[in-house]
Amino acid sequence: MRIFVSGGSGLLGGNCMKHFGEMGCEVVGSYFTFQTADTVFYDTLDDSPLNFDIRSFKPDVIVHCGALTHVDYCESHEIESYQKTVQSTINLIKVANETGAKLVYISTDYIYDGKNGPYTEDAPVNPLGIYAKHKLEAEMLVLKDAKKSLVLRITNVFGDEIRGKNFVARIVDQCKNKQKLTLKLPYDQFSSPCNAWDIARAMFVLLRDGKTGVYNIGGTDYMNRVELALRVLSYFPDAEYDLIPMSTEVLNQPAKRPLLGGFVKLKFSTEYPDFLFGNVDSYMKQVMLRLADEI
């Protein structure tokens, strides 16, 4: 397969590029603001002459990992949120249809209201905030307008990342550098955190087998943010930290969160019963082995 990954310098995009390459695919990944050694420039909102020529590349698959994911920021920047989530998707739908490529869109559990999670694919959607509404709008456009499409809904993604921006990576980095952590975290927001590497692996088998439609993808854990932090911190017994559990109401975040979020990946597990997802512990054991090798 020949695959173009929009947002290849990010957490999921980087893991997709690595795994697809290891599986023998010809992969090109793009960046917009953060360049890595193995990515090319591509602006999904501007037909810039500096853009990588996707049409000449003739991809079999376009994976759209790029989006504005700061949910609180989106609440006060609605136009920018629309541009970077919805309009960017509209533009890639056009490119995918012109090139005959399958479009893979990355969605979220924020499209649900969090009252009855964790969720299967057929659960009613009810986005609560600007980010969530735009993600759902883009998802629906992909399913309606892309000639060939695959939607993966994911949540609370962690894993290896060059910038180390994800929640788990930031805790690991601070513990490694012996920095004291102060964490104010909600105890009533639940999800199914998933390693980006597992999402890339799952995506590959779905692409390999020509699957289309919507798949909810999550790891084997189901936990709140406090539990997630404590699970990671348990691997650093000497870490100094103040962890303050708080309710979502007290936190008063600008964007509403689905409290009981996360997924039951029934569809994927039914079709791929032998596929084994990892969890936070399996990932942290790998991290600790790497840290031991650095000593």
pLDDT digits (tens, 9 = 90+) for 23-49: 999 999 999 988 998 999 999 999 889
User: In terms of domains, do 178 and 85 share one?
Assistant: no
User: In terms of domains, do 50 and 130 share one?
Assistant: yes
User: In terms of domains, do 96 and 9 share one?
Assistant: yes
User: In terms of domains, do 130 and 44 share one?
Assistant: yes
User: In terms of domains, do 18 and 135 share one?
Assistant: yes
User: In terms of domains, do 138 and 242 share one?
Assistant: no
CATH code where residue 231 lies: 3.90.25.10
User: In terms of domains, do 171 and 147 share one?
Assistant: no
3-state SS, residue 18: helix
pLDDT digits (tens, 9 = 90+) for 258-282: 999 999 999 999 999 999 999 999 9
Phi, psi of 153 (to 5 degrees): -90, 125
CATH code where residue 11 lies: 3.40.50.720
User: In terms of domains, do 239 and 287 share one?
Assistant: yes
Give burial (CB, 10 Å; 0-12/13-18/19+) of 126: middle
Instruction: Please report, for residues 64, 83, 273, the alpha-carbon distance to residue 91 in angstroms, rounded to integers and kept in the order given.
Output: 11, 10, 35
User: In terms of domains, do 105 and 59 share one?
Assistant: yes
Residue 233 forms part of a structural domain? yes
Residue 265 forms part of a structural domain? no
The tally of domains found in the chain comes to 2
pLDDT digits (tens, 9 = 90+) for 100-114: 999 999 999 999 999
pLDDT digits (tens, 9 = 90+) for 201-259: 999 999 999 999 999 999 999 999 999 999 999 999 999 999 999 999 999 999 999 99
pLDDT tier, 293 (very low <50, low <70, confident <90, very high otherwise): confident
User: In terms of domains, do 208 and 67 share one?
Assistant: yes
Residue 268 forms part of a structural domain? no
Residue 69 forms part of a structural domain? yes
End-to-end Cα, the chain, rounded Å: 40
Residues written for the chain: 295
Domain of residue 47: give its range. 2-159+192-216
Residue 270 forms part of a structural domain? no
State which amino acid sits at residue 34: F
Residue 269 forms part of a structural domain? no
Q: What is the distance between the alpha carbons of residues 230 and 214, in angstroms, rounded to a whole number?
A: 32
State which amino acid sits at residue 222: Y
User: In terms of domains, do 198 and 251 share one?
Assistant: no
User: In terms of domains, do 111 and 8 share one?
Assistant: yes
- Helix ranges restricted to H, the chain: 11-22, 54-57, 71-76, 78-81, 88-99, 130-145, 167-176, 196-208, 225-233, 248-251, 266-271, 280-294
Residue 174 forms part of a structural domain? yes
Nearest 10 degrees: Cα torsion 96, 101, 107, 112? 90
Residue 274 forms part of a structural domain? no
pLDDT tier, 68 (very low <50, low <70, confident <90, very high otherwise): confident
